[in-house]
Amino acid sequence: MSDHLRRLIEHLEWADTAALGALRASATPDTRALTIYSHVLGAEAVWLARLAGRPSDVAVWPVLTLEQAASLAARNAAELNALVSSLGPDDLDREIDYRTSDGRAFRSTTEDILLHVALHGSYHRGQIALLIRGGGGEPASTDYIAFARGAPAARTVPPTPIA
C-alpha cells in the first residue's frame, strides 16, 4: 500500500471529523451543508460496499441527522482503516466491477476508487465550509497541509473591493 494513499485516507478521516465539528458548532447549521456532508459519508459507504463486493446499506445522498452522520463517519473510518491495513502490494491494481447509482456498469482499480473517495470528500468539504461561513459560522480548516503540519492554514481577510 502506498504511503501517500494511506496518508490521504488518514486525512479523509481527520477532515470528516473536523467538518462534523464545524457543523455541530454552527448556531444554526445550513441544511444544505448537512446534506452535502451526508453525501460525502454516503458516497464513502457506497464505495466501501463496492470494494467489498456487497450492496450498500446507505444511499449516495442519504438524509442524516448530525448524530447519524457522526455514526456513519465513524463506521466509514473504521472500515477504511481495516481495508487499507489489509491491502497487499498487488491489491491496488485489482479491478472492481460495479454499477453506478443510475445502473451503468464500470470497472475501476482499487487504487483509483480510494483516490476518488479521498478527493471527492475534499471537493465537497470546501462547499460545506463556504455554506458554514455564509451562515456566519466558522468552517473547519480541512486542507491537507493543515492535517500534515497539525495546524490550520493561515486565514487571510479578503481585500476590500475598490469603489
Q: Please measure the distance between the N-terminal and C-terminal CA atoms of the chain and give it in whole angstroms.
A: 54
**Residue 1 predicted with pLDDT over 80:** no
Cα 153 from Cα 111, distance rounded (Å)? 28
CB-hemisphere CA count at 13 Å for 45?
A: 20
> What percent of the chain has pLDDT above 90?
82
Non-local (6+) Cβ contacts of 150 within 8 A are none
Summarize pLDDT for 25-73 with one digit per residue, the tens. 987 778 999 999 999 999 999 999 999 999 999 999 999 999 999 999 9
b/e 124-157 (16+ beta carbons within 10 angstroms → b): bbeebbebbeeeebebbbbbbebbeeeeeeeeee
Is-above-0.95 flag for pTM?
no
Model confidence at 149: pLDDT above 80: yes
Domain annotation for the chain: domains and CATH numbers: 3-149 (1.20.120.450)
List own/partner pairs for 90-98 with CB under 8 A and 24 or more apart.
91/1, 92/1, 92/2, 92/5, 96/50, 96/51, 96/53, 98/50
pLDDT tens, residue by residue, 86-126? 999 899 999 999 999 899 999 999 999 999 999 999 999 99
Retrieve residue 15's grid coordinates: 477532515
Residue 1: CB partners within 8 Å, gap ≥ 6? 84, 87, 88, 89, 91, 92
Q: Average pLDDT, whole number, for the chain? A: 92
Assign 152 a pLDDT band (cuts: 50, 70, 90). Answer: confident
Residues 6+ positions from 109 with CB-CB distance below 8 Å: 92, 93, 94, 95, 96
Which residue is listed with cell 463486493? 53
